[in-house]
Amino acid sequence: MRRRFVTTRRGKAGLPPGTPIHVGERPLTPVGFTVFEYGPDSCIEHSPPDAAACIAIERTAPVTWINVDGVYDVTAVTQICSALGVHPLVQEDIVNTDQRPKAEDYDSYLYVVLRMLRSLPNGDGEPVAAIVSEQVSIVVADRLVVTFQERPGDVFDAVRERLRSGKGTVRRKGADYLAYCLMDAIVDHYFILLEQIEARIEPLEEAVVSDPHNDSPRAIQALKRDLLVLRRTLWPLREMVYRLSREGARAITDDTRVFLRDLYDHVIHVIDLIETFQELAAGTMDIYLSSISNRMNNIMKVLTIISTIFIPLTFIAGIYGMNFAFMPELEWRWAYPVTLAGMGAIALVMLRFFRKKGWI
């Protein structure tokens, strides 16, 4: 199915600003909630049944992470956001899954939205070619991080494992560092996608040179569309991470801002790789067109040589095929074999001439 770049917004037309209306695909899976309460010495994991249970958590731990899978449930999203004092415009952006990456600093919290890209595995465990794009909204407050995802499944398993095991420094730092870890996990997964894309480019380059076929343009076009999705995601993310790392926000400490500068370098690296792969994809299409043109030229050259050889032979056959009563050669005893031998000699002389010229 072809990926759409513009999400249908007919349901939002004419509504006042700040009206939370879900825009995007509605998955079949139910809404899920997970809560991590952690500190330097402990980590407690919950699975609340609903939004009310998430709100009821006292949040006595140094940092609390609430994750919501399923922003199509507008009631659950608004219930949690209203309890935290999140602005209605932010609530509208959370349920509208067609946002560009951005960061907005409010008085008591920071709102960050970015896109999580991943490839779904097939039955053999290998990633498929299509890239799944999903919006992730992060609300960072004092001792609290709330993430909103479109559907279950993400790239945060490594962060959760560090929280459970106590490895690294995430349990000894604040909520802003957890938000950085989540953004870093998303950006790190871009490198994995680029590795998969590079693995698709190499065989395509070999195929279009050695054996170009009808499926090559479709594969190249799918590759170019995936790269376009990545580029469309990374350019606004670059600006957003730069602002957080340089200009700062109330919810971001100076210690975490150093890590955000490193994240900015990763984003720049990904953008450079995307531009390189876009040039390779465009070059691969040019190579394919050149290979098809060369193959057509070779075919036309062979057909032209065959036609050129048969022109004098057809001329001789046409002369002796005329129905005139008086043709002196028709009465000769050896006229037929001599004519055939002459036609063969003409063909051989022409072939030798073409080879001497380097045409065949």
Whole-number average pLDDT of the chain: 85
Rounded Cα distance, 193 and 205, in Å: 19
Least confident of 64-73, 105-114, 293-302: 293-302
- Helices 335-357 and 254-319, packing angle to 10 deg: 150
Rounded Cα distance, 208 and 285, in Å: 8
For residue 266, give the amino acid letter: H
Tell me how many degrees the CA angle 31-36-42 measures, rounded to the nearest 5: 160
Per-residue model confidence as pLDDT tens digits over 175-203? 999 999 999 999 999 999 898 888 888 88
- Residue 180 to residues 76, 127, 237, 265, Cα–Cα distance (Å): 25, 26, 13, 14
Q: Give the pLDDT band (50/70/90) at residue 251.
A: confident
CATH of 299-357, one of 3.40.470.10, 3.40.50.1820, 3.40.50.2300, 1.20.58.340: 1.20.58.340
For the question of whether the overall pTM of this predicted structure is more than 0.85, the answer is no
- Domain positions in the chain are 10-290, 299-357
Question: Quick one: tokens of 162?
Answer: 């560090």
List all residues 6 or more positions away from 255 whose beta carbon is below 8 Å from its beta carbon: 173, 177
Tell me how many degrees the CA angle 336-337-341 measures, rounded to the nearest 5: 120
Burial class (CB in 10 A: 0-12, 13-18, 19+), 196: middle
CATH homologous superfamily of 10-290 equals CorA soluble domain-like (3.30.460.20)
Per-residue model confidence as pLDDT tens digits over 85-119? 999 999 999 999 888 899 999 988 999 999 998 87
Least confident of 27-41, 76-90, 331-345: 331-345
